[in-house]
Structure 1
Amino acid sequence: MRKNKLFVGNLAFSATEPDLEQAFGEFGALEEVKVILDRETGRSRGFAFISFENEDDAEAALTLDGQSLNGRDMRVSIATERPRNNGSRRSEGGFNKGSHGGNRRF
């Protein structure tokens, strides 16, 4: 697993990718900065991912954990991959299970 990608949580909703580029760019060359947006509203979901060109720079940037950006203390950690979901979210969430709804007989 690559350790050059950081997760930035507790991000101020007003924080932009250029804000993050400025803060994290001081630690080294960045590959990608991505603020995660809500699909429906287009607003920030309050977290982002920052990829550095090398792992040492990413490790150094961990010192930003707990530092304020746009009035909010960020949580910065090495990003870990979530296991992929083989089905839709609905199958895990309890929908589509049993015989609830549909062709009920009374």
Structure 2
Amino acid sequence: MAAEDQTPSTKPRPDKAKKRKKPKRDKWGQPIAATAAEEPSVEPEQEHPAGEVEAAVQVEKAEEEVAAAAAEGYEPGKVVASGLPYTTTEADIRKLFEFYGPLQSVQLSRFPDSGNFRGLAFICFESEEDAIKSLELDGFKIGSRYMRVERCRVTATSNKKRKAEFQTDPKKSEGCLSAYVGNLSWNVTEKDLRGFFRSSKIASVRFAIDKRTGGSRGFCHIDFQDDESLEKAVGMNQSELQGRPVKVAYSVQ
């Protein structure tokens, strides 16, 4: 009988163990050692300050915009403004474009012979998004001129071509009867050019057209009927047409 009386006293022990497990399932009860050890490993993963999350999203978005611009053949965050008055200063350009966002740099294109501003500027923004917003300035009137603003393309051939056209005058090739005419106002017509070169016999005028807008790109090639007409035209290099000194050089064949 004594042994039987002792048996019930040993059975409740598993119940006590079960009672100790209850706090594990109750987050709001008294924490036990096991729960206290688990909680710190979970809490840091759940805590993400709003500022850090937003910054991460912005960085990811910026990287996507830069990648998209590069894929489309544009320089990320960079636009080119042309058709500006020659009296425009870098400070004027900065003030105009900083309205859309912080700038990294502003580069003014100048005539190699005189060093004067030639109405063309390259503006680099800190973000691609701000650069795209600044395209709203396309057609903006400054003084008596309407500015053109477009994204800056990246092509090795166009860079080489620009150097050939604006930095050094190409030599006349054998049989050449054509001339490159650049730095033209956007609204210059064939009639204007024929009047400008009235002392030369013109066979045809070929304007460079912007595929995106359908407008003039500010330069053309003119075919002349004879060598004398070509020489007269090239001799008019830097003569003024509609307030702009026109670049005239032998056409590159």
TM-score of Structure 1 vs Structure 2, range by shorter chain: 0.7 to 0.9
Deviates more, 1:76-85 or 1:58-67: 76-85
Cα separation, 2, equivalents of 1:69 and 1:35: 16
Counterpart residue number, 1:59: 132
SS of aligned partner of 2:153: coil
The gaps in structure 2 that reach 5 residues or longer are: 1-69, 165-169, 175-253
Aligned ranges 1:29-68 → 2 under 5 Å: 29-68=102-141
Cα separation, 1, equivalents of 2:172 and 2:100: 45
Cα separation, 1, equivalents of 2:124 and 2:117: 18
Q: Which amino acid aligns with 2:101?
A: G
- Runs of 4+ deviating beyond 4 Å: 93-97
Larger radius of gyration: 2
Contact 1:15 1:70 in 2 (8 A): no
Q: TM-score, normalised by structure 1?
A: 0.76
Identity %, equivalent residues: 30
Q: Deviations over 1:4-57 (max 9, x none)?
A: 100101111111110000000010000011110112101111111000000000
Q: TM-score, normalised by structure 2?
A: 0.34
Counterpart residue number, 2:88: 15
Cα separation, 1, equivalents of 2:123 and 2:142: 15
Cα separation, 1, equivalents of 2:94 and 2:144: 17
Higher helix share: 2
SS of aligned partner of 2:76: coil
Deviation, structure 1 residue 81: 2.2
Higher relative contact order (CA 8 A, sep 6+): 1
Matched, 1:5 2:81: no
Deviation, structure 1 residue 96: 6.8
Contact 1:66 1:76 in 2 (8 A): yes
Counterpart residue number, 2:153: 80
Q: Which amino acid aligns with 2:153?
A: T
Deviates more, 1:36-45 or 1:15-24: 36-45
- In the alignment of these two chains, the number of paired residues is 94
The gaps in structure 1 that reach 5 residues or longer are: 98-106
